[in-house]
């Protein structure tokens, strides 16, 4: 019978194979985690939506994320598609935003994927006028699966 090194009959604990497995698991979980978590703007103060509903966890829909913050110094919204700033105030910015929405929401057939949600995370100080402009962008891009985010209670 072969022994494993120790003179008192106890087997040695091999740490290298365990570290290999640990690093493989770490890389696996890092690669499958969604990048949406990184694209949420934490400076946005979401409005309270007491009657809002949580999305169905069975449907893991992908989303084109619109972060709409409020710049108090300018008195205007700061709009980002995921984490990329866009200027929806001028015609060139609107066209670029529509192209970006279509590129992110298209399936392999270059058509808008109905499973992809247009998700708006707007600060509570953003007025309806600006939200209306963003909804117009979604309509021009062909998006019809639209959702808003909010808090279920005041912080």
**pLDDT tens across 31-66, in order?**
766 555 556 667 787 888 877 777 766 555 678 888
Alpha-carbon distance of 76 to 150, in angstroms, equals: 20
CB-facing half-sphere around the CA of 8: CA atoms within 13 A: 2
pLDDT at residue 80 greater than cutoff 70: yes
Tokens representing 10 are 């106890």
Using an 8 Å Cβ cutoff, are 68 and 118 in contact? no
CB-facing half-sphere around the CA of 42: CA atoms within 13 A: 2
**pTM surpassing 0.85?**
no
**Helix axes of 128-141 and 91-105: crossing angle, nearest 10 degrees:** 60
């Amino acid at each position: 019978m072969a022994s494993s090194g120790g003179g008192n009959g106890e087997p040695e604990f091999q740490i290298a194979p365990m570290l290999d497995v640990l690093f493989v698991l770490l890389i696996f979980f890092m690669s499958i985690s969604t990048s949406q978590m990184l694209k949420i703007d934490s400076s946005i103060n979401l409005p309270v939506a007491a009657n809002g509903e949580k999305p169905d966890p069975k449907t893991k829909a992908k989303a084109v994320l619109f972060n709409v913050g409020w710049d108090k110094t300018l008195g205007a919204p700061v709009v980002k598609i995921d984490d990329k700033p866009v200027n929806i105030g001028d015609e060139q910015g609107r066209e670029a935003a529509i192209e970006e929405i279509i590129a992110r929401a298209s399936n392999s057939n270059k058509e808008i994927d109905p499973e992809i949600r247009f998700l708006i995370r707007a600060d509570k100080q953003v007025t309806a006028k600006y939200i209306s402009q963003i909804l117009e962008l979604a309509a021009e891009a062909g998006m019809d699966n639209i959702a808003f985010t909010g808090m279920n209670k005041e912080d």
